Chain A
């Protein structure tokens, strides 16, 4: 089993280190051909507009959709949760979602950087509370009936899973706590 981390821009190195610490086989993905032999893909936090433009320029939209159809699991954190959604509220003019997960996501939902925050979250299947780091975070406004809401903060959805898709609006890769990475490997990629 091998996971790829989209390495166009953002916090991809932290995801790679987190998976390596779990003993997983992991690769940085900078070109679409590097998706061919990965079983799961992480689209990391970063600037969703910048990542989307680079994805379009290098043909990632078609490649990620095709590989997902073939069975590749996908986890989006923050910007990644925006990009895998079916609808983006307040999208910038040419920002197209991948439309993998049946979800509606609002960008910068909490305000500006001074409103970025940390909070303890009760995340389903993880046991003890997980420290959520929210940085200019988006919000998952709705998911489909097929999805499981994994965590809420202030009553609002911050983590959800729909089959082989996982979305978190916070940043497990910045905490040193491996439980969400472990969950993705064992329960999402491993369960396909």
Chain B
């Protein structure tokens, strides 16, 4: 590269997220699953040790994936590879940057390593995506350097209700901030516990400053199209694909439904004969302490 080039700028970090829009990012735990995801039309894969449904079932501490597995996944596909680190675990993030992953997800799906602080994401060349349930949480993460947001949902449940709740909350709060008078923004920033400059940005533009995907509980093509119609930029599917009866067919169907999210004829066609969806969990059956969405500060 010539001297006339700058890496790691906010624009190249947020720019990759812009390129993923309208697409599906799929959780994978092996190189073989990564190849299946790429063949199905995923725009990126998310490397992790176990999918959320298995983390939920196994209990214990969930950590970053083994670097050997991450290497195998990076080597197996030509699409971007994301990988999860624990909240606040900046050394896992350093390792993932060193392995050459294209995006780091500082994720509540893994067991948090710090119950007060998130990773200072400005220190990295690689971009980060973080989960959020509302506007204040999203702006705190962006203030820490996140270049992409995903609403959290409740991972590993196959139940879209929390994803819907968080996306509606986010969009309602954005509309509210856009509508208040400028002198109210100081109090809005205090109430949202978010940086004033970012609150002002949302007020002036009526949108988040970064791409916002939906995640956590998406299991069917209709779920994906629902989130797209509600206003997200793309979807993450975690356990929903490889915990289903026919992962290849379901993955392709979710990709098509995400592109053609307003075309019910296409969504109906791709929804046929997909085999068993993952077994869902009712959110009320999950003890409060096991709700992953509560993690993050």
Q: Does A78 contact B (CB under 8 A)?
A: yes
Chain B, residues 118-142, CB within 8 Å of chain A (1/0): the string is 0000000111000000000000000
Please determine whether A133 and B2 come into contact, CB atoms closer than 8 angstroms: no
Identify which of B19, B97, B259 contacts A79 (C-beta below 8 A): B19
Q: List A27-76 residues whose CB lies under 8 Å from chain B.
A: 30, 45-47, 49-50, 53-54, 57
Q: List B1-55 residues whose CB lies under 8 Å from chain A.
A: 1-2, 4-9, 11-12, 15-16, 18-23, 38-44
Chain B, residues 259-272, CB within 8 Å of chain A (1/0): the string is 11001000000000
**Residues of A close to B78: CB separation below 8 A:** 49, 90, 92, 107-108
Q: Does A161 contact B (CB under 8 A)?
A: no
**Residues of B close to A9: CB separation below 8 A:** 21-23, 43, 259
Assembly CA distance A77 to B39 (angstroms): 23
Query: What is the CB-to-nearest-CB distance from A63 to chain B, in angstroms, rounded to a whole number?
Result: 16
Give the nearest-CB partner of A90 in chain B.
Answer: B78
**Residues of B close to A79: CB separation below 8 A:** 19
Assembly CA distance A143 to B7 (angstroms): 27
Identify which of B18, B40, B101, B256 contacts A174 (C-beta below 8 A): B18
Please determine whether B43 and A11 come into contact, CB atoms closer than 8 angstroms: no
Q: Does B100 contact A (CB under 8 A)?
A: yes
Assembly CA distance A14 to B125 (angstroms): 24
Q: Which of A14, A113, A116 is most buried by chain B, counting CB atoms within 10 A of its CB?
A: A113
Q: Does A153 contact B (CB under 8 A)?
A: yes
Interface residue tally for chain A (C-beta within 8 Å): 42
Assembly CA distance A13 to B228 (angstroms): 14
Q: List B133-183 residues whose CB lies under 8 Å from chain A.
A: none
Q: Does B102 contact A (CB under 8 A)?
A: yes
Please determine whether B259 and A118 come into contact, CB atoms closer than 8 angstroms: no
Assembly CA distance A45 to B38 (angstroms): 17
Give the nearest-CB partner of A154 in chain B.
Answer: B2
Please determine whether A45 and B43 come into contact, CB atoms closer than 8 angstroms: no
Give the nearest-CB partner of A12 in chain B.
Answer: B22
Identify which of B5, B18, B41 contacts A53 (C-beta below 8 A): B41
Chain A, residues 1-33, CB within 8 Å of chain B (1/0): the string is 000000111111110000000000000001000
Assembly CA distance A11 to B42 (angstroms): 16
Please determine whether B79 and A50 come into contact, CB atoms closer than 8 angstroms: yes
Instruction: Assess A154 versus B1: contact at CB under 8 Å? Given A9-B259, A54-B41, A54-B259.
Output: yes
Q: Which of A13, A110, A135 is most buried by chain B, counting CB atoms within 10 A of its CB?
A: A135
Assembly CA distance A153 to B3 (angstroms): 10
Give the nearest-CB partner of B6 in chain A.
Answer: A118
Q: Does B80 contact A (CB under 8 A)?
A: yes
Q: Does A124 contact B (CB under 8 A)?
A: no
Please determine whether A117 and B22 come into contact, CB atoms closer than 8 angstroms: no
Query: What is the CB-to-nearest-CB distance from B249 to chain A, in angstroms, rounded to a whole number?
Result: 13
Assembly CA distance A117 to B15 (angstroms): 10
Please determine whether B255 and A116 come into contact, CB atoms closer than 8 angstroms: no
Please determine whether A135 and B15 come into contact, CB atoms closer than 8 angstroms: yes
Q: Does B103 contact A (CB under 8 A)?
A: yes
3 nearest CB pairs, A to B: A113-B102, A154-B2, A116-B12
- 5 A-B pairs within 8 Å (CB atoms) are namely A46-B20, A107-B78, A119-B4, A135-B19, A174-B11
Known contacts A47-B19, A49-B78, then 15 further A-B pairs from the complex at CB < 8 Å, ordered by chain A residue: A9-B259, A11-B19, A12-B21, A46-B22, A54-B255, A108-B78, A113-B12, A114-B8, A118-B5, A118-B9, A119-B6, A133-B12, A135-B16, A135-B19, A136-B19
